[in-house]
Amino acid sequence: MQAGATVLSFPERTTSVAPPIEVKRAVAHHVGHRERLRHRARTAGLTHLPDYELLELFLFRSQPQGDVKPIAKALLARFGSLAAVLAASVEDLMTVRTEDTKGRTKGIGVETALDLAALHEVAQRVAKEPAIKRPVISSWTALLAYVRVALQHEPREQFRVLYLDKKNQLILDEVQNRGTVDHAPVYPREVVRRGLEVSAAAMILVHNHPSGDPTPSRADIDMTKQIVQAAKALSVEVHDHLIVGRDGVTSFKSLGLM
């Protein structure tokens, strides 16, 4: 550097770093809901859960991800009660649709529908056990409980026959016909013929009224008389005819109709 030269000095440049911006991610309301619900079920007991939460617990099986609360509530809204949800057919269950957070609709899926139908079948078999381990006549309360579980919320009329042996123990519980919301065709000769095939000594007729009112119609009374007459000719006794409705079970025998 030459003598007398001017030396220029520059201030030291510093680089400032802005503090990181904290980004809060929105957390879906259902995150952690499954574990919270399971915890409440374990600690407080299942009996304290409302119907939709009890249904949620079961839906966790077939819906391993996502929020199942809308599905549970949609099922109850569509069918009216927990019992009616379980009694619904697979086809009817699959008509239920829900909306996701993006406004897209989807059905509940065949796996969920089959799970619910299977749960209803389990309930029927559990209710049926006390009725078949003893003579049906001596376990009448258990029999009434069973037919209510089986038919109380059936959306279409169904006619079934309980065929009994000489000790009044159940041989066969058979659905003879399924029909519409207010009619199921019944053929008295076929009912009696089937009884002979399984060596039945007696039978109990059962059908439901989807309207909910178990009061016998004129057609019900006439049909019962035809079956009783056809069975009597072949020494098969008809103990009773039960009509199942949402409001209870009506017995023809208790009404003096047979």
Residues 182-207: pLDDT tens digits? 566 788 999 999 999 999 999 999 99
The CATH class for the domain spanning 33-98+106-119 reads mainly alpha
- CATH 1.10.150 boundaries in the chain: 33-98+106-119
Q: At 153, is the pLDDT very low, low, confident or very high (cuts 50, 70, 90)?
A: confident
So what's the pLDDT on residue 186? 85
Mean pLDDT of all residues belonging to the chain: 84
For the chain, where are the alpha helices, taking DSSP H only? 33-44, 51-62, 69-79, 82-87, 90-93, 110-132, 140-151, 188-197, 218-232
So what's the pLDDT on residue 190? 92
Q: At 34, is the pLDDT very low, low, confident or very high (cuts 50, 70, 90)?
A: confident
Q: Which residues contact 45 (CB under 8 A, 6 or more apart)?
A: none
Checking if the pLDDT of 172 tops 50, the result is yes
So what's the pLDDT on residue 23? 47
State residue 109 phi and psi, 5-degree precision. 95, 150
pTM, to two decimals: 0.65
Of the candidate CATH numbers 3.30.200.20, 3.40.140.10, 3.40.718.10, 2.170.150.20, the domain formed by 135-251 belongs to 3.40.140.10
CA 215 – CA 182 distance, rounded (Å): 13
So what's the pLDDT on residue 56? 92
- CATH 3.40.140.10 boundaries in the chain: 135-251
Checking if the pLDDT of 180 tops 70, the result is no
